[in-house]
Amino acid sequence: MIQIKNLTKKYGSTVALDRLDLEIHPGEIIGLFGPNGAGKTTLIKSIFGFVNYQGSITLDGEPITRKNIARMSFGTCEHSFFPGINANDHAEFYRDHFQSFDERRFAVLMDFFDLPRNKKIKHMSTGQQNQFEVIMALSQGSDYIFLDEPFAGNDIFNREDFYKVLLGMLGPDETLLLSTHLIEEVSGLVSRAVLLDKGKIIGDKQIAELDSENAGLIDYIKDAYSYKADRVFQALEQLSPEGE
């Protein structure tokens, strides 16, 4: 379990994360939702220690260091592959550096996405690069997989296939945290939704709970952000010339 307690992150005087608490349990598929700037990326980067923060983050009770950090993997829209080498060389690198690198999964996913093995990653299309980024995160052999907006630039068919592959592939104890703005698309995929806004968690709900309440995820999310359906209308009204 990953336990986050009282996590605060400031960039200068801007508060990116505000005394945030969160527990991530084995086997969960978590959708991390929130508008741009809500702190989704900062939260993930804090967990990995890629940014400094205040508060405590532990993995099964231990602080996250080089000793246990390989139990987590990270695929990001910023990309973290090595642009100058090809897929086979990546596999070799991961084999050398991650004991639990999943050779089979790597091969299956490479075939599934039909990615070339001998092409430098920087020469692939953006869509292919995103796929490769995700492949490496999934194949590292980690227990906790974090994907941050992994599908920017991929078409919907690609994404839908990908969700299916994910579901077929993940073991019962593998945990996935998916940060995305494609809420509708992943609403059936996730087992839990965590809603972030202005550095705070404003909603955290198991889908099973929502099901019992007969409520849909989208409505729950709209409620949490107190989405005002007549917002557009009001804005237009204010803009319209006087006297009309």
Partner 1 sequence: MISFVSFKPDNSSPIYLQILAFVKRGIASGKIKDSDELPSRRALSVLLGINPNTVQRAFSMLEEEGLISSSHGVTSIVTAPPERVNKLKEEILAADAKSTAALFKQNGLSLEQAAALLAAYWEEV
Partner 2 sequence: MKRHIKRFFFYPPGESVVAMFGILFVTALIFIVILGDNIREAIWLIPHDRIKPFSDILNGRLAGFWVYAAACLAIVVRNYRSFAAQSRSNYVMKRTKSGFEIHRMCLTVPVIGLIAGLLLTYLVALGYQEEYTRIFSSFPIPAEYYDFNFWRALI
* Residue for token pair 């990326």: 41
Shortest distance, CB of residue 238 to partner 1, whole angstroms?
Answer: 30
64 binds, among partner 1, partner 2, none (CB under 5 to 8 A by kind): none
Among 17, 20, 43, 81, binds partner 2 (CB under 8 A): 81
Binding site for partner 1 (CB under 8 A): 29, 160, 163-165, 167-168, 184, 187-191, 207-208, 210-211, 214-218
122 binds partner 2 (CB under 8 A): yes
Report the site for partner 2 in 50-79 (rule: CB under 8 A): 50, 66, 69-70, 72-74, 76, 78-79
For the CB of residue 92, give the shortest distance to partner 2 in the complex, in Å.
Answer: 8
| Residue 144 vs residues 54, 230, 235, 238: alpha-carbon distances, Å | 22, 40, 43, 48
What whole-number distance in Å separates Cα of residue 174 and Cα of residue 143? Answer: 5
For residue 208, the minimal CB distance to partner 1 (Å) is 6
R_g over Cα of the chain:
20
Rounded Cα distance between 216 and 193, Å, is 12
Task: Please say which residue, 78 or 184, places its beta carbon nearer to partner 1.
Answer: 184
φ/ψ of residue 147, rounded to 5: -125, 120
Task: Report how far residue 24's alpha carbon sits from residue 152's, in angstroms, rounded to the nearest whole number.
Answer: 25
Q: Which residue has the tokens 């986050």?
A: 4
Interface residues with partner 2 (CB under 8 A) are 48-50, 66, 69-70, 72-74, 76, 78-85, 89, 92-93, 96-98, 120, 122, 136, 140
